Amino acid sequence: MTVIVTGAAGFIGMHVADALLARGETVFGIDECNAYYDPALKAARLAYLRDRHGAAFTFAKLDFADTPALDAAVAGLDIDRIVHLGAQAGVRYSIENPMAYARANLVGHLNILELARARQVRHLVYASSSSVYGGNDSVPFRVEDRTDRPLSLYAATKKSNELMSESYAHLYRLPQTGLRFFTVYGPWGRPDMMMWIFTKAILAGEPIPVFNAGRMERDFTYIDDIVAGIVAALDAPPADDGQAKPGGSMGPHRVYNIGNSRAEQLGEVIDVLEQAIGRKAIRQDLPMQAGDVVRTCADVSAIGNDLGFAPTTSITEGVPRFIRWYRDYHGV
């Protein structure tokens, strides 16, 4: 039996595929490997998986929003479960290129739902985002909070994914779990995210953009904690028992926050980066950006109560691990 992992060349997808393969699963990865950020990094992640796991990992480079291509790639596969992590990411890029989000995050998600329905998979776990909370000022964010006021198109597509999944859970009794990720970082991370951008600039002696004078707070979650939560969710499909699930569904569909449950001030995270790198940052104060929010923090009580999820990695542990990987990867 095969587990499909979409976004397998991506940051979280690679780590999830690695964890599943390490425990003996057979994984079929799917990724378009587009140029949103350096495709060489995506190729390196795939090479890492192939080197570690050999024939247990197979991969198809394709756009999962392309229905005929997706159908052809999975023809003949005995699909057991799907971890759908592929998406067009990034809040700010959604302002510049909205059509990429409509294709990957809306059409693509529907294609994966259709595949899961047609193959009657045991469980579909998919990526949502903390961005769905929009301008919510009730912190920490709870899965019961309103999520109908998105501040970016990216957030709107992720909320749409949750709604589409709810309809499939109702119509077809398809077991699903949506995970609202909170600012994930760690080795093999994404070059468009703060931790990578700041590290690169500090090492080069260049200024770093500090929005809202550093008075921004994020729930930074280390990749190992995220993977533990995803795998725990995958292993425990929601029951179709008519009982309300986290997120409000009465069907076999639940939604969890998955984060570190601690809001870190941007200025303090920069302090930790400086210490780990051994060099001071040149801080360039900038105003808030469109579509951004001041603070995020996850209430993880639902996933903790149901699945035993308990993040363990603080930024003082996780940031130095990322810096060590970054220096090794770049040879700096």
Q: What is the DSSP letter of 103?
A: I
Per-residue pLDDT at 275 exceeds 80: yes
Residue 266, pLDDT score: 87
Name the residue with tokens 């940052």: 281
Q: How far apart are CA 78 and CA 152, in angstroms?
A: 37
Decide if 154 is catalytic: yes
> Band of the pLDDT at 297, cuts 50, 70, 90?
confident
CA neighbor of 231 nearest in space, from 299, 286, 303? 303
Tokens encoding 148: 């109908």
Q: For residues 287 and 210, is the Cβ–Cβ distance under 8 A?
A: no
> Quick one: average pLDDT of 294-298?
80
> Band of the pLDDT at 4, cuts 50, 70, 90?
very high
Strand partners, 28: 4, 58
Q: For residues 175 and 149, is the Cβ–Cβ distance under 8 A?
A: no
What residue segments make up the domains of the chain, in order of their start?
Answer: 2-182+221-259+299-312
| Number of Cβ within a 10 Å radius of residue 330 | 10
Q: Tell me the longest C-alpha to C-alpha distance in the chain.
A: 58
| Model pLDDT for residues 48-66, shown as the tens digit of each residue | 999 999 999 999 999 999 9
Q: For residues 76 and 41, is the Cβ–Cβ distance under 8 A?
A: no
Residue 263, pLDDT score: 82
Per-residue pLDDT at 92 exceeds 90: no
> Band of the pLDDT at 262, cuts 50, 70, 90?
confident
Residue 119, pLDDT score: 97
Q: Each residue of 139-153: b (16+ CB within 10 Å) or e? A: bbbbbeeebeebbbb
Alpha-carbon 313 to chain mean position: 17
CA angle 55, 61, 67 (to 5 degrees): 120
Torsion-angle region of residue 7: left (phi > 0), alpha (psi -120 to 50) or beta?
left
Kindly provide the residue ranges of all beta strands, DSSP E only, lying in the chain, ordered along the sequence: 2-6, 26-31, 57-61, 79-84, 123-129, 176-181, 184-185, 207-211, 217-218, 221-222, 253-258, 264-265, 282-286
CA angle 279, 282, 286 (to 5 degrees): 145
> Quick one: average pLDDT of 171-187?
97
Q: How far apart are CA 213 and CA 225, in angstroms?
A: 29
> Which of 154, 168, 185, 326 is an active site residue?
154
Per-residue pLDDT at 291 exceeds 70: no
Residue 214, pLDDT score: 66
Q: How far apart are CA 257 and CA 260, in angstroms?
A: 10
Residue 213, pLDDT score: 66
Residue 223, pLDDT score: 98
> Quick one: average pLDDT of 134-142?
85
In degrees rounded to 5, what are phi and psi of residue 128? -105, -150
Per-residue pLDDT at 293 exceeds 80: no
Q: How far apart are CA 162 and CA 144, in angstroms?
A: 13
Architecture of domain 2-182+221-259+299-312: 3-Layer(aba) Sandwich (3.40)
pTM of the prediction?
Answer: 0.95
Residue 111, pLDDT score: 98
Tokens encoding 274: 């400086």
Range with lowest mean pLDDT among 19-28, 141-150, 163-172, 291-300: 291-300
> Quick one: average pLDDT of 121-145?
92
| Model pLDDT for residues 195-248, shown as the tens digit of each residue | 999 999 999 999 998 877 667 788 899 999 999 999 999 999 999 999 999 999
> Band of the pLDDT at 135, cuts 50, 70, 90?
confident
Residue 176, pLDDT score: 98
CA neighbor of 263 nearest in space, from 138, 143, 162, 146? 138
Per-residue pLDDT at 271 exceeds 70: yes
Chain mean pLDDT for the chain: 94
